[in-house]
Structures are given as structure tokens and as C-alpha cells.
């Protein structure tokens, strides 16, 4: 370990054996993972996160950015910059998983109060996970329909394919973390080989616009225009800011912080660059007319074998990302309904996501949905980071997270100051234009405002400069309200 934070075993009274769940599934829900089971190294984590980032949804976003008018390189850069912004916060909150073996959503009890964490953040994250599950399912189903039409001459219902696809994906997530690592190891090399082959098809297609020199010089209708570029940076950043509270979920089995930092950040940047490059290339080759790369491929005149390979990569892409969407959503709901346990909470989120997959309009409303998520999650992430890094100095009292009358009760289970700055940040978000990148701006402003206010109030109360890492201060309260 590269941190001096002591590892903590499961708190008394929160044994995973208490849940009635099927045999053979992951046992740990809201409880910390024991020290002896935290053995995942950076390369295993890299495969999981890389598979998450290389998916039909992010490929589609790269294409949508080109269709909106951006040049090829601007579309790729916008997506990578958005992920870099989000993962700067994401990897910080992932340390909660490495240090304590906790799900990220459970750690928010320390920052926002036990009641606010359970009834507010858990619901938001569960809904967000269901939305992402549906979006990814629809993006993959659209590609599957295009392939089936070119291969077999049939075009089934988009809703029907989406629902069947959703059920197949959700089934893997129910088994837990072990199924995620197994699926990632299988999918990683297969996806790389098939996508590499598909890119080769694009680059060697004889139609005008497909040659690498033509795609790389594609300028779009607006090129690098900042007003459009910023919209896509914000959209991508918002998508991943909405998952910062889940960052620890992927890393709670990690062996060290070093493994987490290397595996997560490298996979995020490389996986995003790959998705953006592939999606933007196909859209630019079609001269900005088709956003979905998997709808472009059948038009290349390829044979049945290639179309089958496309189906394989679509299924694997969606499985690897959506298993994690449902898995983290299940942990979020388990933080609220603790008696359900991880398995049953995951099943509820999977059912909600499957129902949402019956509404294709989610694809058309992507930017509006991301704006709404940014409004909610940008100030929340800022407050969480400020409380974790500045007020608590990266330390959490794990047993207190499970004590409704303990130090993280705050006022009736709510850290009122944290929620106030969260609300102020949300209001400010609406007033800011996209051109100022409201996602990172609001997160930074909310976090700084919260930390300064907390320290000022603490100093006035005590009459001395506050020790922000000491028990009993505003950020680390003792006793119930």
C-alpha cells in the first residue's frame, strides 16, 4: 500500500451472510471488502475500465459530435478532454475503495450525512445507472438492427431487440464482481482484434472520404468552434461526473493505490480515445451524415463473416459496460434499502433500466439529459472532494458509517452545509453558458465555497483556527443531533 490509512474489516452487525441471496453470487454489498480479498492488480483493473470505455455508447458520442459539425480531431479531443476532467475527480474518490474496501455510495454518508446519502444520493445514482444502462442498450441495439438488415434482410423492432439485449446483459451483473473480471478478460482481446479489423475496413474502403488522409483532414461544418466543442466536453464530463460516486465500486478489491491510479487513468484515457477515434472516423467518412459507426459498416459491402464479427463486438461492448452500470446501480440502491442486499438491489435497477430501454427517444435527448446530470452531479462532486480531501484529510471512520446515531448523523442525518453548497452550485449551473465549461467550474466553485465556509464557521465556534482533521470539527462531527 502507498497510503498509511489502516484497512478496516466489516463493521459489527453488517455481515453479508444476513442477506437472502442465491449461492454463488458476490457476498459484499454495502460492507467493506476484507483485506485478504483485496488482491486486484492494475492490469486487471485496466481491462475492466478499458472495456467500460470502449463501448457503443461512447463510439456513438464520437459520431454524434462529428454530425453536430465538429471536425474529426475536434470530436476526438472533446471526448478525451471531457473524460480527463471527470476522471481527475473520479480517481480521487476511488481511493475510498482502495483504502477501506467500501462502495463509493456508502462513503458519501460521511460527507453528506447518513440520511442524505441513503435517500437522496442513492436514488439519484440508481436512476442515473438505469438511464445509462438503457442508453447503452439502445446504442448497441441500433447497430444490431443495421447488421441484421444487411445480413439477413430483416429489421426487427428496435424496442424488442433492446429489451432482449437488456435482459441478457443484466443477467451477468447479478453475479457480482467476479463475473465482471471474468467477462473483461474474455472480451478485452476479442474487442481489440475485431475493432482493429473494422478500422482496417474503413481505412481501405475505396469510396471517397474513407481514406485516413481524408478523414484526418475532415473539417466539419464548424470545425473547432468553441461553442460547439464545449457542448461535447461538458456532455462527456457530465456523463462521468454522474458516476464519480461509483468510482470506489470498481476499486474496492484493488491491492494498492498505485494499482488503482495506473489501471484506472490509463484505461480511461486510452479507452475513450479508442471509442472517440472509431466513432468519429466512421462519421467523418460518411461526411457527417451517419453518427452510428455500426450503421456505416453494412454499407461497405462486407460479407457475412464481417457482419457476424460486428455482432460479436456489439454484444461484448454492451455487456462489458452495462454489467458495470447495473452493478454500481445495485450498490447505490443497496445503500438505501440495506436489507435487500446487493443481488436484489441489482435486480431492481436492471428491471428499471430494461424498462427505460423501451424508449428510443433517450438517444435523441442525450445532450439535454447530460445537462441535467451535470446540474446535479457537478456541485455534488465538488462538495464530496472538498469534504474528503480538505475537511477530513482523506480519513473516514468506517464503523460510524453504519451507526445512525453516531458521528455522521450531523443534523437529523443531513450535513446541512454540504447540501446548501450543493444547491447553490446547481442554481449557478443553470446561469452559466456552455462556453465556460460549467461542469468543472461549478464543481470547483462549490467545493471551494463549502471548504472555506466550513472552516470559517468552525473557527468562529471555537475562537481558534480549526483543525479540520480532528474529530468534533464541522467536517468530522461527534454525537447525534
- Residue 366's pLDDT is 61
Residue 470 has pLDDT above 60, yes or no: no
Cβ-contact 93, 245 below 8 angstroms: yes
Q: Please compute the mean of the pLDDT values over residues 182-191 and round it to a whole number.
A: 82
The angle formed by the CA atoms of residues 210, 212 and 213, to the nearest 5 degrees, is 105
The angle formed by the CA atoms of residues 50, 54 and 189, to the nearest 5 degrees, is 65
User: In whole angstroms, what is the distance from residue 79 CA to residue 268 CA?
Assistant: 11
pLDDT in tens, 28-51: 667 888 888 888 899 888 988 898
- Residue 88's pLDDT is 93
User: In whole angstroms, what is the distance from residue 444 CA to residue 450 CA?
Assistant: 10
| Predicted confidence band of residue 10 (pLDDT cuts 50, 70, 90) | very low
pLDDT above 90 covers a percentage of the chain that reads 42
Cell of 211: 481514406
The DSSP string of 72-140 is HHHHHHHHHHHHHHHHHHHHHHHHHHHHH---HHHHHHHHH-HHHIIIIIHHHHHHHHHHHHHHHHHHH
Cβ-contact 314, 190 below 8 angstroms: no
Q: How crowded is residue 308: how many other Cβ atoms within 10 Å of its Cβ?
A: 11
- Residue 203's pLDDT is 94
The DSSP string of 344-398 is HHHHHHHHHHHHHTT-THHHHTHHHHHHHHHHHHHHHHHHHHHIIIIISTT---H
User: In whole angstroms, what is the distance from residue 447 CA to residue 378 CA?
Assistant: 10
Helix H, strand E, coil C: the string for 157-203 is CHHHHHHHHHHHHHHHHCCCHHHHHHHHHHHHHHHHHHHHHHHHHHH
pLDDT in tens, 292-334: 898 888 888 888 899 889 888 888 877 777 777 787 888 888 8
pLDDT in tens, 74-125: 999 999 999 999 999 999 999 999 999 998 899 999 999 999 999 999 988 8
Q: Which of 183, 38, 156, 166 minimizes the C-alpha distance to 97?
A: 38
Q: How crowded is residue 4: how many other Cβ atoms within 10 Å of its Cβ?
A: 8
User: In whole angstroms, what is the distance from residue 56 CA to residue 332 CA?
Assistant: 24
User: In whole angstroms, what is the distance from residue 431 CA to residue 26 CA?
Assistant: 44
Contacts for 151 with CB less than 8 Å, ≥ 6 apart: 298, 304, 307, 308
20 or 328, which is more confident: 328
- C-alpha to C-alpha distances, 412 to 116, 309, 416, nearest whole angstrom: 9, 55, 9
pLDDT in tens, 232-277: 999 899 888 888 888 888 888 899 999 999 999 999 999 999 999 9
Q: Output the average pLDDT for the chain.
A: 83
- Residue 127's pLDDT is 86
Per mean pLDDT, which range of 52-66, 220-234, 443-457 is the poorest?
52-66
pTM of structure = 0.81
- C-alpha to C-alpha distances, 149 to 76, 137, 155, 157, 197, nearest whole angstrom: 29, 18, 5, 11, 21
Burial class of residue 152, CB neighbours in 10 A (0-12, 13-18, 19+)? exposed
pLDDT above 70 covers a percentage of the chain that reads 85
Amino acid at each position: 500500500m502507498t497510503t498509511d490509512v489502516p484497512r478496516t474489516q466489516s463493521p459489527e452487525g453488517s455481515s453479508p451472510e444476513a442477506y437472502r441471496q442465491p449461492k454463488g453470487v458476490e457476498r459484499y454489498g454495502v460492507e467493506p471488502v476484507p483485506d485478504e480479498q483485496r488482491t486486484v492488480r492494475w492490469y486487471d483493473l485496466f481491462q475492466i475500465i478499458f472495456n467500460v470505455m470502449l463501448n457503443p455508447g461512447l463510439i456513438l458520442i464520437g459520431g454524434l459530435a462529428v454530425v453536430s459539425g465538429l471536425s474529426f480531431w475536434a470530436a476526438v479531443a472533446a471526448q478525451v478532454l471531457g473524460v480527463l476532467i471527470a476522471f481527475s475527480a473520479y480517481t480521487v474518490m476511488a481511493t475510498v475503495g482502495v483504502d477501506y474496501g467500501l462502495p463509493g455510495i456508502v462513503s458519501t454518508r460521511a460527507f453528506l450525512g447518513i440520511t442524505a446519502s441513503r435517500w437522496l444520493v442513492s436514488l439519484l445514482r440508481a436512476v442515473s445507472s438505469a438511464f445509462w444502462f438503457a442508453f447503452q442498450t439502445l446504442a448497441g441495439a441500433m447497430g444490431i438492427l443495421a447488421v441484421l438488415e444487411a445480413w439477413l434482410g430483416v429489421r426487427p423492432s428496435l424496442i424488442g431487440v433492446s429489451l432482449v439485449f437488456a435482459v441478457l446483459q443484466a443477467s451477468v451483473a447479478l453475479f457480482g464482481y467476479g463475473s465482471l473480471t471474468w467477462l473483461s478478460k474474455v472480451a478485452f482481446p476479442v474487442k481489440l482484434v475485431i475493432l482493429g479489423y473494422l478500422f482496417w475496413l474503413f481505412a481501405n474502403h475505396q469510396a471517397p472520404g474513407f481514406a485516413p488522409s481524408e478523414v484526418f483532414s475532415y473539417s466539419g461544418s464548424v470545425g473547432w468552434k468553441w461553442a460547439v466543442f464545449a457542448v461535447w466536453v461538458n456532455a462527456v464530463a457530465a456523463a462521468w461526473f454522474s458516476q464519480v460516486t461509483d468510482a470506489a465500486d470498481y476499486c474496492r478489491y484493488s491491492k494498492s493505490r498505485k494499482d488503482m491510479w495506473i489501471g484506472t487513468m490509463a484505461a480511461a484515457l486510452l479507452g475513450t480515445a479508442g471509442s472517440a477515434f472509431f466513432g468519429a472516423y466512421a462519421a467523418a467518412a460518411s461526411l457527417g451524415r451517419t453518427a452510428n459507426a455500426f450503421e456505416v459498416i453494412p454499407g461497405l459491402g462486407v460479407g457475412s463473416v464481417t457482419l457476424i464479427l460486428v455482432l460479436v463486438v456489439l454484444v461484448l461492448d454492451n455487456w462489458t459496460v452495462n454489467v458495470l452500470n447495473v452493478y454500481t446501480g445495485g450498490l447505490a440502491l443497496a445503500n438505501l434499502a440495506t436489507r435487500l442486499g446487493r443481488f436484489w438491489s441489482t435486480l431492481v435497477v436492471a428491471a428499471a433500466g430494461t424498462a427505460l430501454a423501451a424508449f428510443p427517444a433517450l438517444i435523441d435527448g442525450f445532450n439535454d439529459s447530460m445537462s441535467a446530470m451535470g446540474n446535479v452531479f457537478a456541485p455534488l462532486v465538488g462538495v464530496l472532494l472538498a469534504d474528503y480531501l480538505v475537511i477530513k484529510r482523506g480519513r473516514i471512520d468506517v464503523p460510524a458509517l453504519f451507526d445512525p446515531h453516531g458521528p455522521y448523523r450531523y443534523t437529523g442525518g443531513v450535513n446541512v452545509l454540504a447540501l446548501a453548497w450543493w444547491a447553490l452550485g446547481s442554481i449557478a449551473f443553470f446561469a452559466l453558458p456552455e462556453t465556460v465549461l460549467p461542469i468543472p467550474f461549478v464543481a470547483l466553485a462549490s467545493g471551494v465555497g463549502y471548504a472555506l465556509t466550513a472552516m470559517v464557521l468552525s473557527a468562529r465556534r471555537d475562537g481558534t483556527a480549526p483543525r479540520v482533521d480532528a474529530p468534533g470539527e464541522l467536517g468530522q462531527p461527534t454525537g447525534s443531533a
